[in-house]
Structure 1
């Protein structure tokens, strides 16, 4: 696909991702965003399908896991990830000129930012309409170093989407760490509470 057509697709996405069909003719990052946006306003239950090696004091163990495709604005999707009564996590996907950016917005219950927040990375290459990968960026590396989180310095996050079937969030490391949560897009659930630090929706 030439740069002109890619630019047209980027402009179209900016006019409203939810209005776009996720066709095979679209540039993969735009198709990926449109596939997620097709579920805007819905929430879905998830389950852990990989968690290797097992983690001590795992904050996800035994908790209800719910994702909510909550805000779909031009070029950006906000997807809170609720873990039981913990409403601190929101995934933010942004369309960039080169591809996609994933950031993790972590808040306290009073709305203030956690010391470890806004971390993530940019996609490398076009990816596919159903999977995008996000190696850790330098901003995140510096924050992890500052906070003593050495294990996170080689993080790669990924997301997968099969509309009407499943959504997957993944964290992996070269050390062998693999964490995957799979959400059932065929069965919407009741909407969760407002994520901490985010506005009520009209």
Structure 2
């Protein structure tokens, strides 16, 4: 809520000369938070797990997990509904957006799909390997506004892969139960998609961490 004083004579003369309705000084602005109404979230979780064991090539484990967001609706508060109606009627510019209210799937996050898949391999010889692929679908960045065609800015989908190769010694002596693993996170050095956020990416959904290569040595005593 905004409260204004009555215009004085100087202000009346100034606004009249400009062809505008005279207004006085702003006394105060009350900018309080407004609680949202009910939130309705619906979706589906999928899981697929498969094992192949005791083959001549070793043991394989495959798992795929996916989450699909079907509904993420926050009921509009009375004030937000007034703004939305004004935009829809053309009373105010469609550059004005009501974020985090209404149907917010793909708005400033809430991507429709989150998918991850893992494949691991173990062999009696002591060799093993694994890979993890993670994928997140795109979403709209309302803070970036609209392009000249009136289309919103899209934060692109993001896919990364981690992988490793290992060898576990199975012999008596100093090397017994010794495992050496060499791996890489973000194997293909993918940069996070551009977003209108601090440092140019959305840290709530993406990581700026580039390719990491590591060596892990484990010994059980």
Q: TM-score, normalised by structure 1?
A: 0.27
Q: Which has the higher helix share?
A: 1
Query: Which structure has the larger Rg?
Result: 2
Q: Which has the higher strand share?
A: 2
